[in-house]
Amino acid sequence: MQASFADLAGRVVLVTGASTGIGAAVARGFGGVGAQVAVHYNNSPADAERVAGDITDAGGTAWTEHADLARPGAAAALIDRVVGHAGRLDVLVNNAGHLIRRVRFAEADMALFRDLVDLNLHSLAEACMAVLPHFRAAGRGCIINTSSVAARNGGSPGTAMYAAAKGGVSTLTRGLAKEVARDNIRVNAVAPGVILTPLHATLTGADTMAAMIGTIPMGRAGTAEECVGAYLFLASESLSGYITGQVIEVNGGQLMP
């Protein structure tokens, strides 16, 4: 793997939402190929320190950064801190997000919708806005957003508002990619399907999980580690330098657009 992603060695990578789940696996993946990794967290400092420790114990470079990205201005401040710490930022992985809770649309309220959009879409847009001046000054840059299969299929029961926010992530990815391509900045996304993470462990009941797995041709949920390769691929200019505005679906065949 290290030979395949050799151009990522030494790159400065910020992974938001990196204390657990897909973000933690992605952070470890970048650390494993020699990148310098900023491990962002909000509510799980011990988990974030564990991820950073795993990277440094394996000979890599990592540190933790705290921010409540649902708060206006927090994403921009996070970007500035990472650049101040490392001197630059090469790859931004916008992974922070959450389902918050499962509520059917007719029983939900606008407060929940605002919370979902603030965390899953607004914070991501703010981070993209904040990083562009740094990327333009450097003459290059890479943004990888985490969308979801829900952006295409409307989500599982009780997640319509989350799906709408993730649909915005996919659309913003494509629109921004068009605007900044001439600046040598690539913008892509990874859309995981049903992945075994703490999110599902706490918010998805056994019956709902079984129903979702029943729609997957591979007959099982995925793991966070099985998502990592897509992020590394999209970050590597040698492997994906002519790819922008794309959403890579990682879902075991559940969705074949």
> Which residues are known to be catalytic?
162
DSSP 157: T
Closest by Cα among 12, 61, 7 to 32: 61
Q: What distance in Å separates the CA atoms of residue 155 and residue 157, rounded to the nearest whole number?
A: 7
How far is C-alpha 136 from the geometric centre of its chain's CA atoms?
Answer: 22
Alpha carbon separation from 93 to 8, 23, 122, 221 (Å, rounded):
14, 9, 15, 23
β-pair partners for 141: 185
Closest by Cα among 25, 51, 89 to 230: 25
Q: What distance in Å separates the CA atoms of residue 21 and residue 43, rounded to the nearest whole number?
A: 14
Q: What distance in Å separates the CA atoms of residue 53 and residue 40, rounded to the nearest whole number?
A: 13
Residue pair 92/128 in contact (Cβ under 8 Å)? The answer is yes
